[in-house]
Amino acid sequence: MTYPITTPAIAHRICRLIPAQSPFARTLCFLGRPVITIPSLCKLNPFYEEVVMLRFRALTDLSNVCQEDISQYV
């Protein structure tokens, strides 16, 4: 499924809503010592690639077409 990015406002909204890194990686501690590290599980999600590509397309659209600075989203 390809979602069209028609306006810069939509591209900005996509870049704000989809984080650059997965927020789900955790380190579990017991008595102040790390016991286990749980890696990001987003790559197991079948929609992960589509969501990341949507964010990438929004960033490239803002950079190339709109000539905007995307450093705040990286």
Per-residue pLDDT of the chain (74 residues; tens, 9 = 90+): 567 788 889 989 988 888 877 666 778 888 989 888 766 656 666 677 788 888 899 998 888 888 878 887 77
pTM above 0.75, yes or no: no
Coil, helix or strand at residue 51:
helix
pLDDT of residue 4: 76
**Tokens coding 22:** 């997965």
